[in-house]
Structure 1
């Protein structure tokens, strides 16, 4: 995508993130033994352990999958050494259900690139409402790319001070199990280094009403939240019959209960659907129902309750309309199956970038936790 089509916030954030404090990235020569890297004062990254590589296996598709089934649910710091002694490499790192932790890293023969990040291991592994089943126990790391190589892995339990960014959303946010679907929440972890754990507590079909009614949704998230945590709430696509009054009441309850835990709520207006009339999105595309203009209602709640807002509707509208009806199609699943609501992996990556940019501008995550490579 040509950068001139990206909203101003996204372009500005690309520059800002380049200057952010490094969160565990250090290229080292293969000669010599890798050592732990100090990431924050008074703590260190997990040291690579050769035994952990013994639990890795190459697949028929060319990726490498490493499984650690004995790790219980929780938050884990992970160090990976990417690269190879004899060959150049091009490696991406995913955790659990296709969560992008490290985007493509290019290394020359004889070079290692060290990355450290924090992963949330949970049950169910993918969608919080169990739509895709329980998944695999423990931690799964997958190394993909044009020529993936991993030369070292270190894992230890994250500290109690680990900050959490919880996502409470629908199918456009959730960890999608099936390629080529992806939610923007799957791509968000790559923007953060060690010390921030992204909990994608979302599920297909969820609305502001359903997340409050189901014990596995908001009720299950609430006890995990503490001071310093963030909760990003993007719920609207499935509130098709929710009245404006009820929608505001539901959002107000979520905000009030999040604040009671000491965490900070952030309201995120929904991504647009790819529904055009001429060169502009129609009411369906802009998530306006017969009952309410849902993005407008969310903006009103944010203003009334003094809640930080990420206006993803406005940003995605600007992006999609700027590209036009045809050029914007790859963001969605249109060319695969005609789906104009759900995003491709590419589209999820684009929207995760918009969310990350807006979140960075809000200043709610200290600079030291941002990955300098994004």
Structure 2
């Protein structure tokens, strides 16, 4: 099948066609490319099939200074804001996963818009050209719960939603995190782990974070569910990585996180410890996000740690603010690089 490429420019718009490119008119200087509307933010939509795409953007303006960041699909941060001076243009390449639904795989919070959606935000966004090319790069699949997923509505954010901004082109993040899921439900729902397993190719990586919703899961069942996922990923050529769940913001009277915050569940199972047991038994890399996030939250203390969560906005000590999600994604990525799960050359 021929490569399908779309190039959208302020002076010339070229859309998808099979084996050919079709020009579609012009736009004045410093106008957004065809397919885009608005000025701040600028929203661009392209009719493409689900898959993976390299998106090349030319940011900046010939007539003004600009500050431009990019989100894709369901509020995924794919580029932190970039400053450009008057007449300064800079190219960035982003690798973006397009899914339907575009946010949570079960459609919680809405299914989004078919095709590829890009939003250029920042203080004063400006984009001169956009090129979209279908690819099949190595994929980093994420399996998890609401603390991982692409949250469709602000102020909620998952750490998987913030991860793409840290990665170079050529590694696509496909986030199959979904709210309310446990180690058993991600296995049994065809839209979750089974959907990931069906797409895995050699060279792909699957990060699995469960535990928040395994409130009454026995130790045996939890280990069995994790072991099955690890073996299934390996059976189709992928690399499994276990990620222990980030802590909740629940302090005791001494200013320490409680057992519940550290995911000792309602029947006394220490879920992060059980995950470590599976990792040792299966020889699987493990990112101990429980310990990493606990150290950070306790260091910040009860007051300052509110910023990581939605404590002030929603009275919620489990789910992350955008700042908290970005912070957790940094912790995950740093440990993934240390373990060589993600190569340093793949990091921005």
Aligned: 1:79 with 2:56: yes
The counterpart of 1:346, out of the listed 320, 323, 340, is 323
- 3-state SS of the aligned residue for 1:93? strand
What is the alpha-carbon distance in structure 1 between the residues aligned to residue 102 and residue 6 of structure 2?
23
The counterpart of 1:356, out of the listed 309, 333, 338, is 333
Q: Residues 80 and 154 of structure 1 are in contact (CA less than 8 Å); yes or no, is this contact kept in structure 2?
A: yes
What is the alpha-carbon distance in structure 1 between the residues aligned to residue 195 and residue 67 of structure 2?
38
Aligned: 1:54 with 2:54: no
Instruction: Identify the residue that residue 276 of structure 1 maps to in structure 2.
Output: 251
The counterpart of 1:300, out of the listed 277, 286, 289, is 277
The aligned length equals 323
Question: TM-score, normalised on structure 2?
Answer: 0.90
Cα distance, 1:212 vs structure 2: 1.0
The counterpart of 1:131, out of the listed 108, 113, 118, is 108
What is the alpha-carbon distance in structure 2 between the residues aligned to residue 182 and residue 73 of structure 1?
23
Where do residues 18-167 of structure 1 align in structure 2 (5 Å cutoff)?
49=9, 50-51=12-13, 53-58=33-38, 62-68=40-46, 70-158=47-135, 160=136, 162-167=137-142
The counterpart of 1:215, out of the listed 190, 205, 225, is 190
What is the alpha-carbon distance in structure 1 between the residues aligned to residue 13 and residue 335 of structure 2?
40
Question: TM-score, normalised on structure 1?
Answer: 0.84
Cα distance, 1:368 vs structure 2: 3.4
Instruction: Identify the residue that residue 192 of structure 1 maps to in structure 2.
Output: 167
Cα distance, 1:191 vs structure 2: 1.5
Cα distance, 1:126 vs structure 2: 0.2
- 3-state SS of the aligned residue for 1:215? coil
Question: Root-mean-square deviation (CA), in Å?
Answer: 1.6
What is the alpha-carbon distance in structure 1 between the residues aligned to residue 189 and residue 343 of structure 2?
33
Cα distance, 1:54 vs structure 2: 1.0
Cα-to-partner distance string for 1:221-280 (whole Å, 9 max, x where unaligned): 111001110000010000001001100000000001011011000000000000001311
Q: Residues 48 and 80 of structure 1 are in contact (CA less than 8 Å); yes or no, is this contact kept in structure 2?
A: no
Runs of 4+ in structure 1 over 2 Å off: 45-50, 364-370
Q: Residues 140 and 204 of structure 2 are in contact (CA less than 8 Å); yes or no, is this contact kept in structure 1?
A: yes
Cα distance, 1:134 vs structure 2: 2.2
What is the alpha-carbon distance in structure 1 between the residues aligned to residue 210 and residue 266 of structure 2?
17
Where do residues 322-337 of structure 1 align in structure 2 (5 Å cutoff)?
322-337=299-314
- 3-state SS of the aligned residue for 2:232? helix
Instruction: Please list every run of 5 or more consecutive structure 2 residues that lacks an aligned counterpart in the other structure.
Output: 15-32
Cα distance, 1:369 vs structure 2: 2.5
- 3-state SS of the aligned residue for 2:191? helix
The structure showing larger relative contact order (alpha-carbon pairs under 8 Å, at least 6 residues apart) is 1
The counterpart of 1:313, out of the listed 274, 287, 290, is 290
